[in-house]
Structure 1
């Protein structure tokens, strides 16, 4: 007999339970889920409930893969995809662009571990998506501690239904994540599952002293600590690369586009263009540092890795830096470089 999902009202079949167990073991073998409370969350929260269908990229577009496909081979393809350690496209816009996705489970585990939560922490998640990450947070911290926000009612209403079906009822809010959620503030942790060009100034202002903000930025993960209620905030990037759907926002000052510049034909050697560490610097300094200057800095500083970079947010000002927020290598995010 299958095991019941908490509050879900149906038994998970043996194939589904085995697939989830294999995924959890794979993440653990890779060094993730060292905290038994997070491992229990991944063991018990059913990703299949939150991703009943997804899109696979095909020549000329996307193909829908769904749990309710009448072809058993295609249903098997869906189950393997859901419990594969990879991101899943869950919503495609009319223009063919990816709008929403379910993140790679091992990266989710890494981020949740890095979030360094404690019992009683109040968490704001920016980017509800499928609702799966909100369910993991609710499993660990309880429903009342978790707020998740997304821009469109079509996304949040579906996520709310799936969360309830799996037995979780965090606060699911429809709104602009760049503006945070002031009516639910203050927060002890903010975690974003969408990529930023800069940190929205509203986020530190809605944080308690000692809070952490963890968000994809450029092609990395920035972990900021908030010094006192409402900011300032400062921190370094984690070592791991990270690629997420950009933050969609109605706030033009939020800097949602984290894409790096096109550097074709701008005097940068091919070996640098192929190096993930250099591409990270280009993305982080986009609009502030010409590609050739970025290359000279990167070469002079012996190809710095992500964890040597950081970000400081003070009120309406923020800047990225290499090694030290005092310089000499400092860039205003979204503006001209202060020094290079």
Structure 2
């Protein structure tokens, strides 16, 4: 068995072919190997297609993708398209647009992460595909959604922090997790629990004036949609992690647990960098959204991000970003 990372592009890999041919790649994890193109998805009929969120179903070991919630930053209108693409390993993959529940739900957030996990709002804790959508634009913050695995399934907002969601929250005019940005999501299915999940933010920019942590993780409550205070990412030498690229822009990220054998937490950045994250275990195991014993002066926990190497994914013109990330044991 070999651990493979899966990722997907966000632009047409073959402009001479009809439709938007979004390429799917996989690459070995240990050690990092050459990426192999394993398929493509024709997204030409999908409005604002941008499949950033990838997750692996722990029951079937199949990879699914979720379209990002918005194709552009405010003040442009919220993208009404909701798309889930199943079984990226199959050809062609099946797609579905889940039913909004309730019907006035409008997703919001600019970047997206996804993973499968248990549904803690119902008896039996059925498996669902969670999607986190983040934006650094006021008033959005980061919002958690869940998509049932039926076809087409249903999508709903996980929010309210223990109280029923409001119409303003569902429609994006009232913030959820204001001032917090996350675009990667990993759920621990080896040791499941409603707060055994992490979201990632690899970005040196200040999302808000009080953001002095920048590169970090957040614990995620899968029942309420609430994010913890940040768990700050540092280098192995204890320095602040710096991932700024030459243009000064940030780097979107995908986050994934191996969820088989010896558990590992890895992140893929859109520049191809792959990091392994350690030292988060105390924070993840802490009760609720607590941050464990490794706290600093700003009240945040710490974790270490070690660069494993870079995956050389193709970058034709226009540049294609590979932001979604999940891991399959094959």
**TM-score of the pair, normalised by structure 2:** 0.29
Give the number of the structure whose alpha-carbon radius of gyration is greater. 1
Larger RCO: Structure 1 or Structure 2 (Cα < 8 Å, ≥ 6 residues apart)?
Answer: 2
1 or 2, which has the higher strand percentage? Answer: 2
**TM-score of the pair, normalised by structure 1:** 0.29
1 or 2, which has the higher helix percentage? Answer: 1
